[in-house]
Chains A and B, each alone.
Chain A
Amino acid sequence: DARVTQTPRHKVTEMGQEVTMRCQPILGHNTVFWYRQTMMQGLELLAYFRNRAPLDDSGMPKDRFSAEMPDATLATLKIQPSEPRDSAVYFCASGLGQGAKNSPLHFGNGTRLTVT
């Protein structure tokens, strides 16, 4: 089965350090989402790409977060500098966007980030 792969699975870092999370979407999928999940807020949309172009990053704190897709096989989410309130599980999901509305999102297993 094709899967969305996220690395690392776990990351513990000190406040102020840079954190980079990576995602390999399913081959052929043209949409990629980054979500953050916490117990209090559930799944929050951070950024959304279609055909590698960023379409919506309104949910992302712009001063410290950045999301990119350097190529179709890699999406990255960076936090610099990291803060304790960034501690959460970050999920990447990919899917078939426009033209395939019944396509589900396929999620990776997330990166659990702890900022001390």
Chain B
Amino acid sequence: KNQVEQSPQSLIILEGKNCTLQCNYTVSPFSNLRWYKQDTGRGPVSLTIMTFSENTKSNGRYTATLDADTKQSSLHITASQLSDSASYICVVSRISGGSYIPTFGRGTSLIVHP
């Protein structure tokens, strides 16, 4: 069964601290993995994409890693800011019938306190 599991479910950190969010998946055949950020009351927005051959990719203070062998990914946030408070969703796409079908994790809710 194609599944994406994220941990922790929620996280509270102080402004300026770092944090790491985890994503494990069983989606097959694997096409790519994306991290999305969803602010309250808004739709998710893509932060970064990882393909099979990529191990690390950065987007500003966000760094995503991918281990395709263990089917794990992480999103590391450096020097957190209040605006980082959001839900972070791991999405793994598979190839099916010539199309790319995404499977969503339930997200990690991050709260950054001043």
Contacts and interface: CB of A to CB of B under 8 A. Distances in A.
Q: Do A and B bind? A: yes
Interface of A: 4, 31, 33, 35, 41-43, 45, 48, 50, 55-56, 91, 93, 97-98, 101-102, 104-105, 107-110
Contact of A4 (B32, B43, B101, B102): B43
Contacts of A43: 44, 89, 104, 106
Interface of B: 31-32, 34, 41-46, 49, 51, 89, 91, 93, 95, 97-102, 104-107
Nearest to B31: A101
Contacts of A109: 41-43
Chain A facing B: main interface SS: strand
Give the residue among A4, A42, A48, A98 with the most B Cβ atoms within 10 A.
Answer: A42
B81 to A, nearest CB: 22
Contacts of A42: 89, 104-107
B106 A41 contact: yes
A50 B96 CA distance: 13
Contacts of B102: 33, 45, 105
8 contacts: A35-B104, A42-B105, A43-B106, A50-B99, A55-B99, A98-B98, A101-B100, A110-B42
Contacts of A104: 34, 46, 49
A22 B10 CA distance: 32
Nearest to B97: A55
Contacts of B43: 4, 91, 93, 107-110
